[in-house]
């Protein structure tokens, strides 16, 4: 049984009672910039601090010319606190480096420990978590309920479950759950409400290493020869593993999660989409409709993609689904979905209408135009400017390196990422004015967010094909705006009432593209210096209410 | 096995040689003719099967509309528009990957989505719009009836066709 569910009934707390649960991080850490009273100039500033962060892992992905699709799928990464010291550490997934038809380097994944100030040291060797397979993505969860986050790494090859032993060490779980082949996105979530984390894994294409090594670019694309696929390649089936006391059993069909179309699965996200208290599942499928699985509350799922409004774009067409983000963009208290897609196609924002129904609102919300040209992968919603609504960050990069030279190409393999500012539910492109970090152009894939330097705003790490990740520090002017982070393991959603408005954040397992972000719930409060109420709704029922919570701090809520 | 195949091949070559310059051997023509019936019959069967799928979703939608179960009705309308759910979509994907396009010419002209058998792009768009309108409609009399009428207008010609 997961320890986070060992506590009993939810109670309402006043701020004083709540303080007892706070592990006492200071409101703003030493060295963090004080919030200016007024902030003239740009709304957003992101600074590329990769060099200063010390992170040097190159995430390899095949050969430079990418003759096989695997070599352009890229890799994910994760921000999580492996040593439970209160700050976010970084795990970077790498594939292998190929040369000609040979394996040039079986590159390892890397674990980077945060020194507490947003700089990192490589602890891969001492943690024993480098891995040997061609890594693609990952999920983070405490599958055995010992209070320490474990790692599940999806691979081209056999997936790997790493148990966090404590003391900075991991051990590989022999005969752990997983797929042998090309798996991509994965997430730990309590599907059956029994208090432990089950595991869903999306799989992409059924192929062998020989297929990859001997692949040739044979597809005509804008006057160049590029890799073929995914059309014409056999899809690989997604799988679901039920956790019973730390032991996993394959239960895909039993749970109703059979990949009936053998679609090309990429990003996954588990969250309560129909507000019935159980975690549902969204699977972004490349070149096919998304799966939208609704949970009956007992771990039995029904696939609703083609009629709930979130499996196809508004015109009824299937898109090349890559990544997925979930948040309440329009402040109506319901979780909406953003699906990233191929180039020359809009990202799709599905507004949650309630009752498990969605509508494509990409055009009227302003998402379509800035997202149309780039090829989009990792995606996160977060309140980067602390004004109380959810902005969007999308990682971009083309799959064909030939985009740089193809006669009819109007795009590049390396692309700038995209920042969209949310203002009253309408998005506008804020990329060009958002500082030097947004000028970086690489072929990006994975994306994770979290407060790396403990200053109260949300930073980003982006994975890049055949390159080091980009670490983007959020240096946006505060302009008198405040924040609050709620650490509530096991929460289904957290709602904050501050300054006359209600802001809702949802528990989302997985999300983005093959990556995992900070699990705490971050709120921008605008000018409000306190939250009047913080309501934590727990996954297995019950609420915890905190009142009069001062801003600019991390507050912990536990189910009692 | 290999010997059998060789023998078979030899017989075909012998037959072809015997008929060289005159005509294809009657038995082969007859066999191919039967196979053609099967191939064309399979396509016809595919049409009938997909039509049955549409009829089931249409009838379910109709019943649910009368029962005032509007969300469920809208779901059936959307499945009609998509010629079935994702399980059917998976079969469609497999057929396309195997090179089978029921309406290859119609797809090339932009009339049909890839792999679709009966529902045209235009009808799909109308039926999906009607489904969304029914989900969104609040009023008993106006919006819901209008959404159902739009759906019927899109569906009827498809169901009436042979």
pLDDT score, position A41: 75
A344-358, B101-115, B129-143, B147-161: the lowest-pLDDT one: B129-143
H/E element holding A560? none
Q: Report the largest interatomic distance among the alpha carbons of chain B, rounded to a whole angstrom.
A: 78
Whether A28 shows a pLDDT value over 50: the answer reads no
Whether A534 shows a pLDDT value over 80: the answer reads yes
Rounded to whole angstroms, the Cα distance separating A194 from A119 reads: 38
Q: What are phi and psi of B161, to 5 degrees?
A: -65, 155
Output the CA angle A268-A257-B52, nearest 5 degrees: 115
The closest of A186, A140, A141 to A159, measured between CA atoms, is A186
Question: Count of CB atoms within 10 A of residue A51's CB?
Answer: 10
The closest of A324, A322, A361, A360 to A342, measured between CA atoms, is A322
pLDDT score, position A560: 79
Collect all residues of chain A within an 8 Å Cβ-Cβ radius of residue B81: 316
A269 versus B13: which is more confidently predicted? A269
In Å, how far is A233's CA from the nearest CA of chain B? 8
Size (chain A), residues: 560
Rounded to whole angstroms, the Cα distance separating A534 from A523 reads: 11
A370 in Cβ contact with A420 (< 8 Å)? yes
pLDDT score, position B6: 52
A293 in Cβ contact with A301 (< 8 Å)? yes
Q: How many CA atoms lie within 13 A of A553 on its CB side?
A: 20
> Over the stretch A307-338, which tens digit does the pLDDT of each residue have?
999 999 999 999 999 999 999 999 999 999 99
Q: Report the largest interatomic distance among the alpha carbons of chain A, rounded to a whole angstrom.
A: 68
pLDDT score, position B16: 52
A378 in Cβ contact with A321 (< 8 Å)? no
pLDDT score, position A96: 98
pLDDT score, position A426: 98
pTM as predicted: 0.90
Rounded to whole angstroms, the Cα distance separating A390 from A365 reads: 13
ipTM reported for the complex surpasses 0.85: no
The closest of A466, A507, A465 to A490, measured between CA atoms, is A507
> Over the stretch A66-116, which tens digit does the pLDDT of each residue have?
999 999 999 999 999 999 999 999 999 999 999 999 999 999 999 999 999
Nearest CA in chain B to A231: B97
pLDDT score, position A386: 98
Round the average pLDDT of chain A to a whole number and report it: 93
> Over the stretch A144-180, which tens digit does the pLDDT of each residue have?
999 999 999 999 999 999 999 999 999 999 999 999 9
**Contact across the interface for B86 and A307, Cβ inside 8 Å:** no
pLDDT score, position A559: 87
**Contact across the interface for B71 and A288, Cβ inside 8 Å:** no
Question: Count of CB atoms within 10 A of residue A424's CB?
Answer: 7
Which residues, at least 6 apart from A240, have a Cβ–Cβ distance to it below 8 Å?
A191, A198, A199, A200, A201, A250, A251, A252, A255, A257
Question: Which residue is associated with the tokens 């044979």?
Answer: A218
Measured between CB atoms, which of A289, A315, A317 is closest to B86? A289
Tell me the helices (H) and strands (E) count for chain A, helix number first. Answer: 6, 43
Buried b (16+ CB within 10 A) or exposed e, A353-372: beebbbbbbbeebbbbebbe
What is the pLDDT averaged over residues A247-266?
97
pLDDT score, position B2: 52
> Over the stretch B71-88, which tens digit does the pLDDT of each residue have?
999 999 999 999 999 999
Q: Which residues of chain A approach chain B closer than 8 Å at the C-beta?
A: 231-232, 234-235, 260-263, 288-289, 291, 303-309, 311-312, 315-317, 353, 355, 357, 359
Band the pLDDT of B142: cuts 50, 70, 90: confident
């Amino acid at each position: 049984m997961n320890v986070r569910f060992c506590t009993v009934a939810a109670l309402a707390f006043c701020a004083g009672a709540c303080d007892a649960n706070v592990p006492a991080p200071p409101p703003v850490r030493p060295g963090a910039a004080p919030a200016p009273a007024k902030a003239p100039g740009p709304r957003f500033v992101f600074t590329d601090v990769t060099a200063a962060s010390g992170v040097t892992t190159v995430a390899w992905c095949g050969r430079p010319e990418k003759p096989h699709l695997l070599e352009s799928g890229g890799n994910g990464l994760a921000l999580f606190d492996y040593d439970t010291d209160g700050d976010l550490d970084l795990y970077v997934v790498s594939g292998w480096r190929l040369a000609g038809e040979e394996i040039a380097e079986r590159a390892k994944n890397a674990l980077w420990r945060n020194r507490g100030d947003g700089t990192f040291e490589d602890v891969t060797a001492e943690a024993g978590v480098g891995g040997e397979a061609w890594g693609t993505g990952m999920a983070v969860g405490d599958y055995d309920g010992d209070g320490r986050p474990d790692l599940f790494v999806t691979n081209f090859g056999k997936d790997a479950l790493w148990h966090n032993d404590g003391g900075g060490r991991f051990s590989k779980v022999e005969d752990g759950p997983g797929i042998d082949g090309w798996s991509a996105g994965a997430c730990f979530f309590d599907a059956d409400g029994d208090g432990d984390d089950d595991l869903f894994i999306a799989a992409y294409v059924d192929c062998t290493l020989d297929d990859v090594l001997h692949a040739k670019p044979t597809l005509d694309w804008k006057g160049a020869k590029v890799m073929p696929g995914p059309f014409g390649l056999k899809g690989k089936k997604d799988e679901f593993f039920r956790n019973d006391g730390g032991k996993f059993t394959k239960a895909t069909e039993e749970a109703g999660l059979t990949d009936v179309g053998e679609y090309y699965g990429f990003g996954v996200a588990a969250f309560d989409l129909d507000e019935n208290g159980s975690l549902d599942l969204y699977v972004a499928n490349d070149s096919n409709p998304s799966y939208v699985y609704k949970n009956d509350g007992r771990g039995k799922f029904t696939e609703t993609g083609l009629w709930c409004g979130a499996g196809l774009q508004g015109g009824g067409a299937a898109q090349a689904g890559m990544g997925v983000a979930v948040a309440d963009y329009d402040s109506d208290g319901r979780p909406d979905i953003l699906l990233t897609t191929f180039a020359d196609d809009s990202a799709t924002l599905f507004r949650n209408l309630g009752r498990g129904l969605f509508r494509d609102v990409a055009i009227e919300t302003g998402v379509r135009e800035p997202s149309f040209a780039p090829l989009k992968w990792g995606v996160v919603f977060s309140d980067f400017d602390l004004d109380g609504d959810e902005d969007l960050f999308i990682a971009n990069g083309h799959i064909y390196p030939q985009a740089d030279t193809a006669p009819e190409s109007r795009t590049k393999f390396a692309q700038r990422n995209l920042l969209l500012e949310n203002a009253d539910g309408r998005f506008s492109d804020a990329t060009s004015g958002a500082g030097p970090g947004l000028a970086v152009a690489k072929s990006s894939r994975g994306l994770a967010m979290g407060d790396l330097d403990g200053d109260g705003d949300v930073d980003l790490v982006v994975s890049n094909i055949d390159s080091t990740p980009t670490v983007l520090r959020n240096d946006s002017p505060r302009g008198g705006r405040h924040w609050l982070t709620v650490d509530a393991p096991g929460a289904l959603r957290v709602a904050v009432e501050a300054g006359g408005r209600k802001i809702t954040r949802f528990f989302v397992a997985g999300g983005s593209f093959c990556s995992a972000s900070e699990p705490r719930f971050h709120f921008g409060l605008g000018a409000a210096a306190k939250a009047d109420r913080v309501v934590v709704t727990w996954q297995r029922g019950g609420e915890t209410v905190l009142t009069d919570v001062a801003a600019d701090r991390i507050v912990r809520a536990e189910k009692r | 096995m290999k010997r059998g195949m060789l023998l078979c091949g030899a017989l075909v070559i012998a037959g072809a040689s015997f008929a060289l310059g005159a005509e294809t051997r009657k038995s082969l023509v007859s066999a191919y003719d039967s196979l053609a019936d099967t191939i064309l019959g399979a396509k016809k069967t595919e049409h009938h099967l997909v039509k049955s799928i549409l009829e089931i979703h249409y009838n379910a939608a109709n019943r649910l509309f009368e029962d005032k179960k509007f969300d469920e009705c809208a779901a059936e309308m959307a499945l009609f528009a998509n010629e079935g759910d994702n399980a059917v979509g998976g079969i469609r994907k497999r057929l396309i990957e195997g090179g089978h396009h029921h309406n290859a010419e119609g797809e090339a002209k932009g009339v049909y989505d890839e792999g679709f058998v009966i529902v045209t792009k235009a009808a799909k768009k109308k039926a999906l719009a009607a489904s969304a309108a029914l989900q969104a409609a609040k009023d008993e009399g106006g919006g819901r009836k209008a959404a159902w009428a739009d759906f019927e207008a899109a569906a009827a010609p498809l169901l009436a066709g042979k």
